[in-house]
Amino acid sequence: MIVCSFRLQAQTIGEWLALPPVPVEMPAFGSVKNVEGKTFTSSQLLTSSVFNIENFTPEADLRELQFHSLVWQEAAVNEGVVTSGYTGNTPAIVVSAVYAANTQWMSGKLEFNFHGDAEVYVDGVKKITYTGHNGTEAAKRDCSLEWVPGKHVIIVKSLATGNNDKLFSASYTADAAFSEAPVHFTLSPKRGKNILDVLNGKRVERIQISPSGKYLLMSENDIINGKNSRMTNVYRLADKEVVYSFYGNDASSLTWIPGQDKLSFLLKEGNGNSLYTYDIESREQKRLFKADRNISSYNWSPDRSYLVYYKTENYTEKEWELRKLDGIEDRQAYYRNRYFLCKYDLGTGIHTRVTWGNQTTSMMDISHDGNYILIGTSRPDYNEYPYRKQSVYMLNARTFEVDTLWENRLQDIQCSFSPDDSRLLISGSADAFGKLGVNIAKGQMVNGYDTQLFIYDLKTKEVTPITRDFNPNVTNYVWHKDGNIYIVAEDTDYIHLFRHGQDGKITKINCPGDLVQRISLAEDGNTGVYTASDASYPTRVYTLNLTDLKAREWANPQGEQYKNIEFGQVKDWDYVYKKGTTIDGRYYLPADFDPNKKYPMIVYYYGGTSPVERTFGGRWPFNLYAANGYVVYVMQPSGSTGFGQEFSARHQNNWGKTTADEIIACTKAFMKAHPFVDSKRVGCMGASYGGFTTMYLQTRTDIFACAISHAGISSVSSYWGEGYWGYSYSTNASGHSFPWNRKDIYVDQSPLFNADKVNTPILLLHGTADVNVPTGESIQFYTALKLLGKDAELVLIKNADHAVVDYNQRIIWGNTIMAYFAKYLKGEPAWWENMYKDKNL
């Protein structure tokens, strides 16, 4: 009994930060009764004096931005917080703050003794309002709390009257189940990353440098508690001065006019859209046409003589009881929509139809003289693998005559003109032109997601592969007027910038950033702008000199948001699995990492055809997991792009067999090489194909203490036939292999048909509106595991598609993952049990 009483003893909060008292006055006519017959009382000064407390970040000796002129200082404490002798003639508001840090989910109670009116906020949410204090005795008030792991800010807003320098004292008592769980009260705002950091803050959505390179058009989306606020600014690149701004979404199709430092954009007017231009230098705005009903987006011809836009024709029945599918894709939304090109002549004002027919026509590029438009059409063909055929044409923009470049291609390509319009830069799979660009081992099949570049001479019709021996996977490219081709490419788990010179050599541009996201090059200058993030830092904006290839940081949009967030180290760890196969890996450590301690570990992988990049944030924020006390090991098994064609080709006709062997071997080797990992507390997690990998792994090994699969595939055959893109994805995952000729893949390697081998607790997560991997993939695996008496949980996300994007759902979904790992890897089931209470149904 004595021990129990000691454990439940209140923990006094003995230090606080405070802002100087802010005097407040009684309102004019305060003694006049309002319509309810009430006069204004001094107690109401507390509740009517409002600050944006949810935005406070208290820190000693720093100015609070919300107050503009007040500086946080350590509060005077004498058996509680006192006002340091405030003797003003009027009441004053005093704001006090402290941080609470906890490493596990817990519940408890904050208890206060108030010597005057006060409000209490926890993480920006008001928990206590106490008014009407009368006398000298302290008033006791408390509030119950449920805290997720992390750091929490407690703010007390007090009304000081000058009659008593005592404001309040405070303590914290954990509930009995958490009496030994540590809570540390501190004045430091330094903390680890949390789920709100992932979801909130500024996001650079778009960058576009002006043709001269003098100005930058940049769109940012500022997310605050799930609410979006968009702004697009035009900056002078040299001094960052804002020279023009667009608020919200009123202006659409905002872009630079080719060859000019002028903007064009659409505004809704009347029953249509009006096209405006704005000259940055002269500050002159013009309207080119008014309330047009046809154009909702557009592309300029490089010679500025016309616009190209799309016309949509919808052939879907609005209401139907029975409908016959016209092919496999006819289940997909918008499949019966067709898109055709139209042209608006800026000289005559006439709209003309450019393309017609029963196939959507897609514009790829317009020649620099405006004379030709590259277009493509594509259609299903179930009689020939890979079941789709593409035709590419060069259309005369003046006469609409068509020159067929390729007809009924089996591999899709994208084309753009060279600066002199004599050649085409083409992206496509390695076998886009037969074996010309292929660099794989004997017996392998090309992975079509591994994108290569080719140059096609329009006169000689000669095709030259330029990335055949280039291991990184091309994601973006620009053929600049300086004659060089600038390439953005997956380079193992990085995304880097490269330059293909006129000598035919590709060299890496050594510039900051782990992951290059967007790039824009000045049409007529030698300046570029790009955005990039790092494994432990959000997106920054950089300028790039195309002459000396020097990059410089230009903007840090989330710098203020992340100034108090601490990250642990991210280290590389590659494992030689066998001769000729090195599995690239990295691991994240907690910020307070101690190599002499034992840590639980989360193993993450994809296993599909893309690397798990060094993304900051996103759906799988590894540094958030590390902030919760986990070592996070991320690996890139065979089959991923970014490591060369031979490596990516291993994805074909494998479906987890090699991948699982590599993950198991790498995990064992990592644990052996890193004694700070507790081998009995290792979990694994993956999504989509990685979700399949997670399910499949549990049929092959018992090394994991628990596993989480989001939107995973349990039956290769049902996904192949039912998923919107199941059969088409399978052309790169199981080329020429089908349920009727490869039972060893579609049945033997499907987790569902091996469910009896699972011994690991597993959590299945799935959106109820997933059209990529249907929800039934998790449901059928859950059904099998429950009938087999296995430890399995299924959590469905209402109306979510393949990814969880709703703000509130993202928070709950993210906490679900953390709570499940806490239960099995930390022995702390309270969070999970609080979120998912047993219904006893």
List, as one string, the DSSP characters of 611-675. Answer: -----SSSSS-HHHHHHTT-EEEEEE-TT-TTS-HHHHHTTTTTTTHHHHHHHHHHHHHHHHH-T
DSSP result, 682-694: EEEEEETHHHHHH
Q: What are phi and psi of 801, to 5 degrees?
A: -85, -150
pLDDT, tens only, 403-427: 999 999 999 999 999 999 999 999 9
DSSP result, 233-253: EEEETTT--EEEEEETTSEEE
* Long-range contacts, 214-223 (Cβ 8 Å, 24+): 214/238, 214/261, 214/525, 215/243, 215/261, 215/280, 216/529, 217/254, 217/255, 217/256, 217/263, 218/541, 218/555, 219/254, 220/557, 223/199, 223/807
pLDDT, tens only, 210-261: 999 999 999 999 999 999 999 999 999 999 999 999 988 789 999 999 999 9
Where do we find the tokens 């592969």? Answer: 465
For residue 288, CA distances in Å to 275, 426, 551 come to 5, 34, 38
pLDDT number for residue 633 = 98
Mean pLDDT across the stretch 344-365?
A: 97
The amino acid that residue 538 corresponds to is P
- Token reading at 648: 């990516």
Contact 93, 46 (CB under 8 A): yes
Question: Is 84's pLDDT higher than 90?
Answer: no
Per-residue pLDDT band for 43 (boundaries 50, 70, 90) equals confident
Where do we find the tokens 């609005």? Answer: 318
Which of 552, 525, 526, 527 shows the shortest CA–CA distance to 541?
552
- Token reading at 772: 């990529």
Residue 230 sits at the vertex; the CA angle it makes with 229 and 235, to the nearest 5 degrees, is 135
Contact 794, 782 (CB under 8 A): yes
CATH of the domain at 156: 2.60.120
pLDDT, tens only, 334-353: 899 999 999 999 999 999 99
For residue 525, CA distances in Å to 9, 259, 370, 629, 661 come to 70, 11, 21, 48, 51
Domain-located, residue 283: no
| Residue-averaged pLDDT of the chain | 95
The DSSP symbol for 71 reads: B
Q: Is the dihedral of CA 313, 319, 323, 328 positive or negative?
A: positive
- Work out how many domains the chain is built from and give that number: 2
Q: Report the alpha-carbon distance of residue 366 to residue 582 in Å, rounded.
A: 43
pLDDT number for residue 67 = 58
Domain-located, residue 560: no
Q: Report the alpha-carbon distance of residue 454 to residue 463 in Å, rounded.
A: 7
pLDDT, tens only, 584-619: 999 999 999 999 999 999 999 999 999 999 999 889
Q: Report the alpha-carbon distance of residue 750 to residue 6 in Å, rounded.
A: 54
Q: Report the alpha-carbon distance of residue 431 to residue 450 in Å, rounded.
A: 10
* Long-range contacts, 280-287 (Cβ 8 Å, 24+): 280/210, 280/215, 280/234, 280/243, 280/244
DSSP result, 179-200: TTS-EEEES---B---HHHHHS
Mean pLDDT across the stretch 69-73?
A: 89
Mean pLDDT across the stretch 490-500?
A: 98
Domain-located, residue 535: no
For residue 49, the tally of other CB atoms under 10 A from its CB is 16
pLDDT number for residue 8 = 60
pLDDT number for residue 52 = 87
Where do we find the tokens 């004694």? Answer: 675
486 CA to centre of own chain: 25
Question: Is 3's pLDDT higher than 60?
Answer: no
Domain-located, residue 620: yes
Q: What are phi and psi of 127, to 5 degrees?
A: -110, -30
Domain boundary among 157, 191, 225: 191
Q: Percentage of the chain with pLDDT > 70? A: 98
Question: Is 169's pLDDT higher than 50?
Answer: yes
pLDDT number for residue 401 = 97
* Bond into 27 cis (ω within 30): no
The DSSP symbol for 328 reads: G
Q: Which of 8-12, 642-646, 786-790 has the lowest mean pLDDT?
A: 8-12
- Token reading at 119: 């409000």
Question: Is 95's pLDDT higher than 80?
Answer: yes
Q: Which range marks the domain in which residue 90 is found?
A: 2-191
Domain-located, residue 561: no
* Alpha helices, H only, 123-163: none
Per-residue pLDDT band for 6 (boundaries 50, 70, 90) equals very low
Which residues, in sequence order, are bridge partners of residue 272?
269
Burial of 88 from C-beta contacts in 10 A (0-12 / 13-18 / 19+): middle
Domain boundary among 151, 176, 191: 191
Which of 551, 484, 476, 480 shows the shortest CA–CA distance to 513?
551
Q: Report the alpha-carbon distance of residue 152 to residue 148 in Å, rounded.
A: 9
Which of 123, 64, 193, 204 shows the shortest CA–CA distance to 558?
204
Domain-located, residue 77: yes
Question: Is 439's pLDDT higher than 60?
Answer: yes
Domain boundary among 139, 163, 191: 191
pLDDT, tens only, 618-643: 899 999 999 999 999 999 999 999 99
Which residues make Cβ contacts (< 8 Å) with residue 120, sequence separation at least 6?
Answer: 110, 112, 126, 127, 128, 141, 143, 154, 155, 156, 157
- Token reading at 627: 């902030």
Domain-located, residue 467: no
CATH of the domain at 788: 3.40.50.1820
pLDDT, tens only, 511-570: 999 999 999 999 999 999 999 999 999 999 999 999 999 999 999 999 999 999 999 999
For residue 505, the tally of other CB atoms under 10 A from its CB is 9
Domain-located, residue 587: yes
Mean pLDDT across the stretch 118-136?
A: 93
Per-residue pLDDT band for 2 (boundaries 50, 70, 90) equals very low
Q: Report the alpha-carbon distance of residue 58 to residue 64 in Å, rounded.
A: 7
